[in-house]
Structure 1
Amino acid sequence: MICQTNWKLKAASAMVLAPSHQAISPTHRMRKMMNILYTNFHVAGGGGHDVYIRTLLKQSTHRTYVACPKSSYLYQSLMRDNVANVLALDFPGKLSQSVHLVTQLRRLLSIIEAHQIDIIHTNGSADNRLVSYARLLSRRPFKHVFTKHNGFPVRGSISQWRFLKANHAIIFVSQSIYQSIGFSVQSDKIVVIRNGVDTDYWRPPVTVIPSAQIRLVSIAGTSGYKGWHYLINALKLLPASVRSRFTVTIVGTLPDRATRLERCRGDWLAEQVTFTGFLAEPYSVLQAADIGFVLSDAVETISFACREMMSVGLPVIVSDFGGLPENITLGIDGWVTPVGDETALAALLHQISALSPTQLTQMKQQARCKAEREFGIESMIEQTHQVYAWVMSSTD
């Protein structure tokens, strides 16, 4: 059985509780400025990891640094935006890369010393592992915070030991991670802080572009686990008269033909489904849309994309995988469908096709209200800074 922790968020105010069971006080939040290093191991696009780190850089009251591979989208985009203190660092994870690992570990140790790092906030297994090695060798003591962004189980006794013992605090971005982690967890180090989005940027368009069709959209990308193909296959199950009620726009690279033939049971519906390619700024696509979808069947936790689309005023269709249902009030601001069940999804689309313009408008308004009420970045940043204050005050 998965045990609940003493540090779980229990109320809408989501005050972080320390192991003493006392809420972190304003004194903790007013500590001196800290030097915080964020790490991201992805050598190319980091998806939600990139968004997460960029979000925590906003409104930070601390001196922040980011270490990631020079080839990564995060590194290149931060440099393009003239963000200060971006450092090139790789996080090799294979035994065959032992020489490179030692080189990067030495570089990490020099970064810790040169910038007097107080906290390193890691976001994946590879960077968490390298930072754990650094803790053993660093002449400068520092605290280690880890955010678990995916639904992968933590396998193996060494990985489980590192997960619970090598980190001073662990952030889950959805409640569902408790059920997917793969072993019994009971630790005062763990807290749930759901991802926040910038509701001022992700906001409904001033001018609504009308359409006779229902415009479905996803900005979750086209990785295999994102489930975009389930929607295409569900549309194929609908009578032509119902299917023609929909258009679909998917932000992300067009999957190659072999993938389309395999996943879409023949091919995609070119007359109805548009792949935009990768868009660094997908907001404009959402302005001419009615309903979002994220139909993941693996990996997914809370989904920045789902929350961004809801913030723009789109009700969202989600699968019942991971933390996706945590975003939705069923039938009010979205729908939940069984993961991978194309027949059930087709039935849901049939129901949606019968929505009146007034009903759809009401759901759009409810999605925006949910985002304003629950999805803002302010709460995420404040709670994360409370974690930093707590770990710095602990004696471990």
Structure 2
Amino acid sequence: MKILITNFHRGDGGGHTTYITALVMAFKEKHDITVIAPKTSRLYQTLSVFSGVRFIAHDFKGALLKTLGDVVSFRALLRRENFDVVHVNGSVDHRLCFLAAVTLGSRRPAIVFTKHNDKEMNSLGVWIRARFGTTKVICVCDNSKRKLGKSPFSQCDITRIYNGVDVDRFSPPSADEVERNRAHWIGSTHSGKLVIGSNAGTAEYKRWMDMVEAVAMLPHNLRRQVVVMVAGLLPPKSDLAKVHQLGMGQNVVFTGLLQDVYPFITTLDIGFVLSSGVETISFACREMMSTGVPVIVSNSGGLAENVEHGVDGWIVPVKSPEAVSSILKRVLMNRYSLIPMRLAARHRAVSSFSLRDFVSNTESVYLDARNAALNAAGN
């Protein structure tokens, strides 16, 4: 198949980048793949160096009038390349592809839309795209599928495909790896401490500060046994000031944005993703669990679908540092309780977070979408 994959993110792109990179690396030897994204994006920086992938740099413009200015050139691209499937990953790129393809008639490609976030979708523009510009819909968790079933996309064919991770790459580290990576990230200052961390990022909705507050609530003799590590863009000065106000300045380590999160994850005893919105299933959560790290998740979006409470992780209410602190207190009183949980987290990842299933199920949606578009053209 000839496939075009689009993404609008200009910077890191978070889970979008991980999602598209996994698909492209799996498909590039089997299908003719073209990726369109801004030149400033991490996706461009990651994929443009690989052979077998054609990359077109394009800045998607959010405003409708600015989008209309790109329609003619984008329509020319679709007509010239005659793609079987266009896979869009956000509202901005979806709108442009729909407007460019709508007048192509029998040469119109199938449009597959993946819903990556938990935001509501009930506007007129969404209804138009759902009705006239979508062949198939992919959602990444059951929670999203339920919400889409109450949106204009309910009239579309919706398939839930859980995000997959490379469980061979994200595998439990050796003791030497742990020691080496901890020496790099936290040094001797925090030797022997319980290391709690997240590679989910530092956006406000990620609620990483809830973990800092949870540790600050612990009795002093327990708090000094904990270090919190946060990977991602450095937070604003106001958040850093709050960390110090909580008396946690010496207990929190910010790594900055990482190109490879695996060494960071190997340092962790417990992971966390405490988002209060937007989040669906979280690649970060699945990468940590695959590495054998039990994860504390909030019950926002589809996060709770990752874990079985008390077995391979914990589920807490949104914006509830008190509940998180209670879990940490129990773990600190009995660190050996983490041993079976680490094994269970790894087992769940291997059995349920398969990259193979993620790729093959997505390919099946592409095939169904292409066939549906061909049938529609024939009619």
Common fold by TM > 0.5: yes
Structure 1 residues 268 and 160: alpha-carbon distance in aligned structure 2, compared to 1, 3 A threshold: farther
- CA distance in 1 between counterparts of 2:358 and 2:2 reads 19
**Which residue identity does 2:203 align to in structure 1?**
S
Residue by residue, what CA displacement relative to the aligned partner does 1:60-94 show, whole Å, maximum 9, x if unpaired?
12111100112222112222445630001222121
| Alignment of 1:126 onto 2:92 | yes
Residue 35 of structure 1 is matched in structure 2 by 2
Residue 190 of structure 1 is matched in structure 2 by 158
C-alpha displacement of 1:240: 0.8
- CA distance in 2 between counterparts of 1:196 and 1:239 reads 39
Is the 2:297–2:314 contact (alpha carbons within 8 Å) kept by the matching residues of 1?
Answer: yes
- CA distance in 2 between counterparts of 1:195 and 1:297 reads 20
Choose 381-390 or 131-140, whichever is displaced more: 131-140
Residue 309 of structure 2 is matched in structure 1 by 330
Residue 271 of structure 2 is matched in structure 1 by 292
Residue by residue, what CA displacement relative to the aligned partner does 1:226-257 show, whole Å, maximum 9, x if unpaired?
11000001111111111122111111122122
| Alignment of 1:251 onto 2:217 | no
Choose 66-75 or 323-332, whichever is displaced more: 66-75
**Which residue identity does 1:351 align to in structure 2?**
R
Residue 371 of structure 2 is matched in structure 1 by 393
Is the 1:151–1:177 contact (alpha carbons within 8 Å) kept by the matching residues of 2?
Answer: yes
Structure 1 residues 77 and 188: alpha-carbon distance in aligned structure 2, compared to 1, 3 A threshold: closer
Aligned match for 1:70, one of 25, 31, 39: 39
**Which residue identity does 2:9 align to in structure 1?**
H
Aligned match for 1:107, one of 73, 88, 92: 73
Is the 1:260–1:268 contact (alpha carbons within 8 Å) kept by the matching residues of 2?
Answer: no
Residue 352 of structure 2 is matched in structure 1 by 374
Aligned match for 1:318, one of 297, 300, 305: 297
C-alpha displacement of 1:220: 0.5
- CA distance in 2 between counterparts of 1:160 and 1:238 reads 49
Is the 2:134–2:156 contact (alpha carbons within 8 Å) kept by the matching residues of 1?
Answer: no
TM-score, normalization: structure 1?
0.85
Q: Structure 2: where are the runs of 5+ without partners?
A: 180-190
Residue 92 of structure 1 is matched in structure 2 by 61
Residue 47 of structure 1 is matched in structure 2 by 14
SS of alignment partner, residue 162 of structure 1: helix
- CA distance in 2 between counterparts of 1:391 and 1:180 reads 22
**Which residue identity does 1:258 align to in structure 2?**
S
List aligned pairs for 1:157-196, cutoff 5 A: 157-181=124-148, 183-184=150-151, 186-187=154-155, 189-196=157-164
SS of alignment partner, residue 270 of structure 1: coil
- CA distance in 2 between counterparts of 1:133 and 1:48 reads 26
Aligned match for 2:104, one of 122, 138, 141: 138
C-alpha displacement of 1:198: 0.7
C-alpha displacement of 1:363: 0.8
**Which residue identity does 2:204 align to in structure 1?**
G
C-alpha displacement of 1:110: 2.6
Choose 283-292 or 221-230, whichever is displaced more: 283-292
SS of alignment partner, residue 85 of structure 1: strand
SS of alignment partner, residue 137 of structure 1: coil
SS of alignment partner, residue 147 of structure 1: strand
Greater fraction helix: 2
Is the 1:173–1:193 contact (alpha carbons within 8 Å) kept by the matching residues of 2?
Answer: yes
Aligned match for 2:335, one of 356, 381, 393: 356
C-alpha displacement of 1:179: 4.6
- CA distance in 1 between counterparts of 2:31 and 2:167 reads 23
